[in-house]
Amino acid sequence: MNPTEKKTSAAVEITDSNFKELISKEGVVMVDFWAAWCGPCKMIAPIVEELATDYEGKAVIGKLDVDQNPQASMEFGVRSIPTVLFFKDGELVKTQVGAAGKQQYVNIIEEHLA
C-alpha cells in the first residue's frame, strides 16, 4: 500500500490538528505513535485495530503517524516507536514504549476504565 492510500480503520486517525481535542475527552484515550517504516509498529497494528473494535463506545483508540505529525510526538517526548500513551480525562496516566501483547494494553485500559 502506498502512503497516499487510506485503508478503513476502526482506530481513530489522530493528527497534530485534532490531538489536543481527542486526548482531552472524558474517559480513556489510547494513542499509538507509529510510522509506516517501523517493524514493531506493524506487529502491534492488528492489536490496536482489535482494541478499537473491542472498546468502541467505551474508550477512544487512535493512531498517530509520527512522520506526518511531529508536533504531538515532540510535545510528549516520543523518541522511540511504537510508543502508546494512555490518557484519562485529559491527563497522561501511562506510557508503554515498545511493542506489547494485547493483554498488556487491555490491562491498562481496564485499570483506567474502572
Please indicate whether residue 66 is annotated as part of the active site: no
CA gap 109, 29 in Å, rounded: 9
Catalytic pick from 31, 41, 59, 109?
A: 41
- What is the rounded distance in angstroms from the CA atom of residue 46 to the CA atom of residue 3? 18
Evaluate whether 99 touches 47 at the Cβ level (below 8 Å): no
Q: Is 101 considered catalytic here?
A: no
Which residue among 14, 30, 38, 60 is the active-site one? 38
Catalytic residues, by residue number, are: 38, 41
